[in-house]
Chains A and B, each alone.
Chain A
Amino acid sequence: MEFPPIHSFPPLYTRQPNKLVRNKQLETWAGIILDNAKKLHRWEIDKTGRFERGGPSIFTSESIGRAVPQLFINEIWRHMQRNNQIILRDESLQWGVLDDADADASFYVLWRPLDAWTSLILEWFDTANQMGKVVTFYELAQGDESLDCEFHGIPEPLLLRILKPLVKRGRATMLKGDNDQYVAIKVV
Chain B
Amino acid sequence: MDLWYDVATNNSGRPLLRGGEQVVLIQDAVGLYDGKERVEGRQSGRVFLTQQRFVYVDDLNPTGNSVALDLENVASLEYSSGFLKRSPRLVVFVRDGGTRPPGEDITSAGFLTQWVCPICAEKNSTEGKFCDGDSSVQPVCFNCGVPADYELARDSIKYIETNKSTDPTDRDTVVCQSCTFINHKLMKFCEMCGGRLPPRKSHRSKKLFLKTGSLKETPQFFQLSFRKSDGSLFAKAAEKTLNDARQKDIFNQNVAEIDGAAVNPTVKEEELVKKLDKMDLMGINGLEKFRENQLLNNDILFTNALQDLNKLMSLANSIERLYKRESNNSGSSTTAHPYLVVDREKFFTKDSFLDEIAREVYEFAMSEFKDNEIDRNVIVTLVDFYAMYNKSVRIGTGLISPQELRDACQRFPKLGLHDLKLLKVNKRVLCLTSVNSLKFVEERVMEIVQGQPGSDSLKITQVLNEQAKTDNSWAIGIIDEILSSCINNGKLVLDEQMSGMLYYSNTFWSL
Contact = CB atoms under 8 A, between A and B. Distances in A.
Is B a genuine binding partner of A?
yes
B371 interface: no
Question: Which of A14, A18, A24, A25 lies at the interface centre, i.e. has the most chain B CB atoms within 10 A of its CB?
Answer: A18
A16 B511 contact: no
A177 interface: no
Question: Which of B489, B495, B507, B509 lies at the interface centre, i.e. has the most chain A CB atoms within 10 A of its CB?
Answer: B509
A21 interface: yes
A21 B502 CA distance: 16
A10 B511 contact: no
B493 A21 contact: yes
Contacts of B508: 6, 9, 12, 24, 28
A10 B454 contact: yes
Given A10-B454, A24-B509, A17 B487 contact: yes
A10 B455 CA distance: 12
A14 B490 CA distance: 14
Nearest to B496: A14
A24 B504 CA distance: 16
Contacts of A66: 495
A13 to B, nearest CB: 7
A16 B511 CA distance: 13
B495 A25 contact: no
A14 B492 CA distance: 13
Question: Which of B489, B496, B502 lies at the interface centre, i.e. has the most chain A CB atoms within 10 A of its CB?
Answer: B496
A: contact size bracket: 10 to 19
B488 interface: yes
B506 interface: yes
Interface in B459-511: 487-490, 493-496, 502, 504, 506-509, 511
Contacts of B495: 10-11, 13-14, 66
A21 B504 contact: no
B: contact size bracket: 10 to 19
B203 to A, nearest CB: 69
A20 interface: yes
Given A10-B454, A10-B502, A28 B494 contact: no
Question: Which of B488, B489, B508 lies at the interface centre, i.e. has the most chain A CB atoms within 10 A of its CB?
Answer: B508
B279 to A, nearest CB: 66
Nearest to A65: B497
A11 to B, nearest CB: 4
B509 A28 contact: yes
A24 B509 CA distance: 6
A131 to B, nearest CB: 47
A18 B426 CA distance: 13
B496 A18 contact: no
A66 B504 CA distance: 15
A30 to B, nearest CB: 13
Given A10-B454, A25-B509, A28-B509, A18 B504 contact: no
A18 B495 CA distance: 13
B167 to A, nearest CB: 84
B454 A18 contact: no
Interface string A17-52: 110110011001000000000000000000000000
B140 to A, nearest CB: 81
Contacts of A24: 508-509
Nearest to A16: B493
B509 A14 contact: no
Contacts of A18: 487-490, 493
Contacts of B509: 16, 21, 24-25, 28
A10 to B, nearest CB: 4
A24 B508 CA distance: 9
B258 to A, nearest CB: 75
Given A10-B454, A10-B502, A10-B504, A21 B496 contact: no
A13 B507 CA distance: 15
A23 to B, nearest CB: 9
Contacts of A6: 508
Contacts of B490: 18, 20-21
B494 A14 contact: yes
A145 to B, nearest CB: 42
Contacts of B507: 9
Contacts of A15: 496
Given A9-B504, A14-B496, A21 B454 contact: no
A40 B494 CA distance: 31
B493 A20 contact: no
Contacts of A21: 490, 493, 506, 509, 511
A20 B509 CA distance: 9
Contacts of B496: 14-15
A90 B74 CA distance: 100
A13 B508 CA distance: 13
Contacts of B493: 11, 14, 16, 18, 21
A16 B504 contact: no
A165 to B, nearest CB: 36
A28 B509 CA distance: 9
A33 B22 CA distance: 77
B75 to A, nearest CB: 72
Nearest to A5: B508
Closest 5 A-B residue pairs measured CB to CB? A24-B509, A11-B493, A10-B495, A14-B496, A11-B495
7 contacts: A6-B508, A10-B454, A11-B495, A13-B495, A16-B494, A18-B489, A21-B511
Given A11-B493, A18-B493, A21-B490, 4 more contacts: A10-B454, A10-B504, A16-B487, A17-B494
